[in-house]
Copies of this chain bind each other. A is one copy, B any other.
Amino acid sequence: MITVYDQEYFQGRRMEFTASCQNIMECGMENIRSLKVECGAWVGYEHSSFCGQQFVLEKGDYPRFEAYSGSNSYRIERMISFRPICYFFFLSFAQNHKDSRMIIFEMENMMGRQFEMCDDYPSLQAMGWFNNEVGSMQIQSGAFVCYQYPGYRGHQYIMECDCRGGEYKCYREFGSHAQTPQIQSIRRIQH
């Protein structure tokens, strides 16, 4: 469940959601200025219908927009749509994000050098990846969030085994806002 408010610090009008919302304005709310994730993991989007910049929302309190917006390199002012990451709703309590597995590839279409990941990597280069880009990826299990810069900064791309058959064949499939294949940190999304 996710609870959204139209004012900062959990003030003002309040709405609860247990499923995705394609356009918060159609629910009569102008903007979301704070929110609480009570359970599950969610993805927020800049535009309606799950378009534009995306950002992961895990359990916790987000008292101001700056707490949940994705990146400070590209200014976004709103969160208009959001959806749960469904994978986590099918997990038993015994399982968790530790079961996430993916492969990153040097080139598009799962070609070139590859590396299998099942942990969190705040710096791909520190783990031995040879440059600051990822050409394509295959999510075998679970869900990950990939970031443009080291240390989980910059644009976010949420990758799920349940979307596109888990295959992201080139950077244009990473997200509608992706302009380069630059990815320098990757982590599992927490259940």
Contacts and interface: CB of A to CB of B under 8 A. Distances in A.
B132 A61 contact: yes
Contacts of A55: 151
B57 A150 contact: yes
A58 B120 contact: no
Interface stretch (A16-24, A108-116, A183-191): A183-191
Main secondary structure of the interface of A (DSSP, over half): mixed
Contacts of A122: 58, 187, 189-190
> What's the number of copies of this chain in the assembled complex?
2
Given A60-B125, A126-B60, A132-B60, A149 B68 contact: yes
A95 interface: no
Contacts of A166: none
A78 interface: no
Contacts of A121: 190
A176 B73 CA distance: 25
A71 B125 CA distance: 23
A153 interface: yes
Nearest to A66: B73
A9 B152 CA distance: 19
A154 interface: yes
Contacts of A73: 64, 66-67
Contacts of A57: 150-151
Shortest 4 CB-CB contacts between residues of A and residues of B: A72-B72, A60-B150, A66-B73, A59-B126
Interface of A: 37, 55-62, 64, 66-69, 71-73, 120-127, 132, 145, 148-154, 184-185, 187, 189-191
